[in-house]
Copies of this chain bind each other. A is one copy, B any other.
Amino acid sequence: MATDRAKTRYVVLGLLCAGPGTGYTLKAAIERAIGHFWRESYGQLYPTLNQLADEGLAEKVSKPSGGRPRYEYSITDAGREALAAWLLEPPSEVPVRDELMLKVFFGRYGALPTLREHLQASLRRFEATAQQLSMAQAWLRKEQADAPDLPFWLLSADRGARVAEARAQWARHAIEVIENLEAQSP
């Protein structure tokens, strides 16, 4: 019974709107398209797919490729309705849990050089994300120019890029602050 805290269902239904797919291809699609704000594991994905099929929100069709078992899922009308209903509900707040920030906040009880290294590693990741999402936007504008989903896809990439850029700027500032602290104390 659709516990409804489980959002995996809607991720799957949303992606199936763009066309049928297997557990494997959906996993790849999640990483590629929404990986900057959502992730799923196979352990979550495969049971959810079977559950959606049981509930009639998706249709499961065996499409073996070679000797390999393969199940393709497509969305049903009931599935589209379930997705639309969920889209109407106000989104729940982000459950924020950022371990880097914890280590910054409690920074005084650790070693400054280590903290700086954590920050530098994070900065590299933030920069990579920001750049990757900027490129994604350019690619979308060029290659998906007439997809009806385009504005929504652009918006999500844009949000990712902006947040990553803000995080990167903050990290640069933080590294400076820590370096100053390092210089002041032996």
The residues of A with any CB-CB pair to B shorter than 8 Å are 7, 10-11, 14, 17, 33-34, 36-39, 80, 83-84, 87-88, 90-111, 114-115, 117-118, 121-122, 125, 148-149, 151-153, 155-156, 158-159, 162-163, 165-167, 169-170, 173-174, 177, 181
Measured CA separation A50–B122 after assembly (Å):
33
Residues of the B chain whose Cβ atoms lie less than 8 Å from the Cβ of A93? 125
Measured CA separation A174–B154 after assembly (Å):
10
- Beyond contacts A87-B115, A155-B177, A163-B167: 9 other A-B pairs, Cβ-Cβ < 8 A, are A39-B97, A88-B114, A90-B121, A91-B103, A94-B98, A105-B156, A107-B151, A159-B167, A163-B166
Taking the full assembly, how many copies of this chain does it contain?
Answer: 2
Q: How far is the CB of A32 from chain B (nearest CB, A)?
A: 12
Tell which of B84, B125, B151 touches A110, judged by Cβ atoms closer than 8 Å. Answer: B84
Interface residues of A: mostly helix, strand, loop or mixed?
helix
Inter-subunit contact B87/A109 (CB<8 Å): yes
Q: Which 7 A-B pairs have the closest CB atoms?
A: A87-B110, A166-B166, A14-B106, A91-B99, A107-B152, A37-B101, A91-B100
Inter-subunit contact A103/B118 (CB<8 Å): no
Measured CA separation A109–B76 after assembly (Å):
14
Inter-subunit contact B87/A149 (CB<8 Å): no
Q: List 21 A-B contacts (CB under 8 A).
A: A7-B99, A34-B101, A36-B96, A37-B102, A38-B102, A83-B109, A91-B122, A92-B99, A93-B125, A94-B98, A104-B155, A104-B156, A105-B153, A107-B152, A108-B148, A158-B174, A159-B174, A162-B166, A162-B169, A162-B170, A163-B167
